[in-house]
Structure formats: C-alpha cells, structure tokens
Structure 1
Amino acid sequence: MMIIMHPSDATRQLRYAVTTQTDQYDYAISHWEANAYEDVFADVIDSGDLSDVMSVVKRLSAEFDNGTRPSVAEARELADSVLTAGGRPLTDGGDTN
C-alpha cells in the first residue's frame, strides 16, 4: 500500500517538528515559513517518496533548531540534495536545450 502525502501535510509535519524541538510555539514557522515551503514539498513528493519528504522535514527542522530560518531557495537546495543523494535525477531526462 502506497502512502500519499500532500504538501500541506508536510508543512504540518515541519511545524510539529519545530514546535517539539524548540518546546515553544513559533508564529513564523506556523504561519508563513512552513507554507512558503509547500512548493518545495510538492516537488519532493513528485520526484521522491515519503522517506525523502521526511528527510527534508528533518533537515529543515534542524536548521530551525540551530536558529536559522532557511529561505525558500535554501529549502529547495536542501530538497534537491536529498533527492540527488538517492541517485534520483532532478529532471525527466528530456532535452535540456
């Protein structure tokens, strides 16, 4: 049975991870930043699997735990590194011209 995760589910996971790690409610992660990452999570869901999504959630939450707030571009780079670490191509292999 294949488990499907939606980008909004991934953002909830990120909010939960950050809240439990920092032991406090963080308005920024709850309302703006997590939702800003939805497109990143959508790309990971399309190109990877559930473990890839959870890896991105874990790595982003670690960044928040360290006191940094990754930009959407930084989150995308992190997601790309998770996807390519497993040997998955970032494109469909079509024409690059």
Structure 2
Amino acid sequence: MNPTDAAKQLQYAVASQADDYQVKHWEATAYNDVFADVVERGELDDVMAVVETLGSEFTEESCPSVERARVVADDILTQNGRMMTDGGPDAEDD
C-alpha cells in the first residue's frame, strides 16, 4: 500500500464512523509522511491499524495532529516487542 492509498483508507474509515463528517483530501494527505514510514517499516496490518486509530480520533471539531499520528504509528510499530529501526541492517542480514 502506498501513502496515498492509506490516506484514502483514512477518509473511508472516518466516513463510515460519522455520517455527517468527511475528511477532506488535504487533511488525509497531511499524514502522508507518517503513512510512508509505516509502509516502509511495517506491514499492511500496521498501516490499517494506524488508519483505524486515527480515524476514530476525528471529530467535526478537531482532527489528530501530525505529531499525534507519529505517536500512534510508533506505538503500533513497537507493539509486541517489534523494534523500531534506524534504517540500518537487520540482525537477520548478518
């Protein structure tokens, strides 16, 4: 999944949870860097978990900040003891 597709999934997630609120395209794409990082470091399930979590935090009055999205992504990527990497070689590469 690419970041643009993840942004679309966020729009769908919010629309399915709130009949009267739609995430504008620019709101969803504000998280593209976060989605790109999750796509690179995680799996599809991780991307969808970020989408679901952020989607549940949208209201008509506010939406999660990019900083909040980063925290959500980092939390999901480190669940179950999965280590965050610095982009260096994996231990399995040795």
TM over 0.5, yes or no? yes
Pairwise mapping of residues 24-63 of structure 1 onto structure 2 (< 5 A)? 24-26=20-22, 29-63=23-57
Q: How many residues are matched? A: 88
Runs of 4 or more above 6 Å deviation: none
TM-score, length of structure 1 as denominator length: 0.80
Q: Which runs of 5+ in 1 are unaligned?
A: none
Bigger CA drift: 33-42 or 67-76? Answer: 67-76
What is the match of residue 8 of structure 2?
Answer: 12
**1:90 shift after superposition:** 1.9
Q: CA RMSD in A?
A: 1.9
What is the match of residue 78 of structure 1?
Answer: 72
TM-score, length of structure 2 as denominator length: 0.82
**1:45 shift after superposition:** 0.5
**1:30 shift after superposition:** 2.0
